[in-house]
Amino acid sequence: MSPDSSSLDELAAMFLRELEAAGGHGFVCESQEDLVDRVEKLCRSRSVLIEESPSTKFIGTALIEAGANISTTTNIWDAEVGITGVDMAVAATGTLVLLAGHNRLLAASLLPYTFIALVDRSSLVADFEQLIKILNDRLTGSTTEPNRPSAIHLITGPSRTGDVEMQLTIGVHGPPEVYAFIYP
């Protein structure tokens, strides 16, 4: 049973609120054209590393047409912006969920200064309890190795770490800028 439109709106609002509280930036896009416009503005004149997947194909095509410097596998260390789709997004914490595995370019979410997550509105879940139930159902039914993730990455805002002197540092273990665009 999928959530109705009003509950998806509530989940989107909660997700954006929690992502902002964690230091990220989030937006609800009215259409794919709105999504492309917003992402294009962030990528303008910057090198972009984009995951090749059905959820990112349309944005990659649009960015190429706009003249962006796109890479899918080469020069990953030089990319300034990384773009991936996400498998799910947890509204209660503003967390992006990426299942690692076959044909997943996780470098796009880890290496560049700016990470852009494309969140299909239907991938929003309320909380970790719902996430774990969905993952358990999905992984229990997956008996072939290529379909099973090698890891589950949970990203809640920009990378941050602290030391014994209570100094907070942003961006040491991942991107210091995280954007999530929820699209229909």
Q: Give the CATH number for residue 78.
A: 3.40.50.10420
For residue 30, give its domain range.
Answer: 5-183
Q: What is the average pLDDT across 1-14?
A: 79
159-178: pLDDT as tens digits: 767 766 777 666 567 789 99
65-120: pLDDT as tens digits: 877 777 766 678 888 999 999 999 999 999 999 998 766 778 889 899 999 999 99
Q: Which residues contact 128 (CB under 8 A, 6 or more apart)?
A: 90, 92, 93
Q: Does 29 score more than 70 pLDDT? A: yes
Confidence at residue 168, expressed as pLDDT on a 0 to 100 scale: 64
Q: Which residues contact 5 (CB under 8 A, 6 or more apart)?
A: none
CA distance linking residue 115 with residue 180, whole number of Å: 8
Q: Does the predicted model carry a pTM greater than 0.85?
A: yes
Give the chain's domain count.
1
